[in-house]
Amino acid sequence: MNKDIAIKVQNLVKNFGKGENLVKVIENASFEIKKGELVALIAPSGAGKTTLLMMIGCVQEPTSGEIWLGEEKVYDNKWLSKDTRKIRREKIGFIFQAHYLIPFLNIIENITLLPQVNGVSEKISKQKAMELLEYLEIADKAYNKSSQLSGGQNQRVAIARALANNPEIILADEPTAALDAQRSISVIKMLKKIAQEQNVAIITVTHDDRILPYFDKIMKIENRGIVFHELGEDKIL
């Protein structure tokens, strides 16, 4: 396995249901994503974007195929570890459309919650959280509640939370859907900086054409498979 590869998927298949109710979502997807790449995942509603992210994130079980996360093969027609939650905790950061911050905790408590559940001390987890908040230019809000922040600020906190366990991979499902154009671009620029500086692979589902020029690659689900579009000089969009 090439050390530069963060995600490798081979012959991935995902069906839901059986018999008359069989829905084929992904038929034979194979692709690789390198460390440090910011990739957009686009396709019409119902094409399987969320399903694909959730399989890579070890949340939903594929029907068949193979998945590697970094050097580790995690799926080979079955999960290769009994504890997929551990893989998720150690390797993956998730960001969703809604920020899902806990309203009665302040920002820093939201970010340190999972690391502390994972056994990181309060002191160390707070230090790391403050570093992340400074990196995302939102440290002045550390002791505020989520309700006191704007949509874009909350989404940056959600990014900080996703980064708190030093993931190799970030999976973001429409992280800018609730934001205006300017805030969406600022969130995507932030993700780009993280991908480049921290060598993290990031897949972002989006329906927003305005942010596509900021991505390194565009990945599309077409005919239940995956195709890539490089963003060259002659922007395809």
Residue 48 contact partner, candidates Mg ion, ligand ATP, none, CB within 5 to 8 A by sort of partner: ligand ATP
Q: Does 45 bind ligand ATP (CB under 6 A)?
A: yes
Residue 51, interface with Mg ion (CB under 5 A)? no
Dihedral of the alpha carbons of 125, 126, 128, 133, in degrees to the nearest 10: 140
Structure tokens of 163? 């980064």
State which residue has the least CB distance to Mg ion.
50
Partner whose binding site includes residue 152, from ligand ATP, Mg ion, none (CB under 5 to 8 Å by kind): none
Residue 80, amino acid: L
Neighbour tally for 175: CB within 10 Å = 30
Find the radius of gyration of the CA atoms of the chain.
18
Residue from 12, 14, 48, 50 binding Mg ion (CB under 5 A): 50
The answer to whether residue 206 forms part of the interface with Mg ion (CB under 5 A) is: no
Q: Does 100 bind ligand ATP (CB under 6 A)?
A: no
Nearer to ligand ATP, 45 or 147 (CB): 45
Q: Judged by CB under 6 A, does residue 47 bind ligand ATP?
A: yes
Rounded to whole angstroms, the Cα distance separating 224 from 25 reads: 6
Residue-wise DSSP of 69-98: ETTEEEEESSBSSS-HHHHHHHHEEEE-SS
> Using the rule CB under 6 A, which residue among 2, 16, 121, 209 binds ligand ATP?
16
Q: Which of residues 61-80 bind ligand ATP (CB under 6 A)?
A: none
Q: Does 213 sit near ligand ATP (CB under 6 A)?
A: no
Binding ligand ATP by CB under 6 A: which of 35, 49, 99, 126? 49
Pair 204, 189: CB distance under 8 Å: no
Among 41-49, 64-72, 130-138, 207-215, the segment contacting Mg ion (CB under 5 A)? 41-49
Render 96-158 in DSSP notation, one character per residue. Answer: -SS----TTSBHHHHHHHHHHHTT--HHHHHHHHHHHHHHTT-GGGTTSBGGGS-HHHHHHHH
Listed in sequence order, the residues at least 6 apart from 220 whose beta carbon sits closer than 8 Å to its beta carbon are 41, 42, 43, 226, 227, 228, 229
Interaction of residue 129 with ligand ATP, rule CB under 6 A: no
CB of 1 to Mg ion, least distance (A): 29
Q: Which does 62 bind (CB under 5 to 8 A by kind): ligand ATP, Mg ion, none?
A: none
From 12-20, 46-54, 56-64, 220-228, give the range in contact with Mg ion by CB under 5 A. 46-54
Positions touching ligand ATP (CB under 6 A) are 16-17, 23, 25, 43, 45-51
Q: Which residues in this chain contact Mg ion in the complex, by CB under 5 A?
A: 49-50
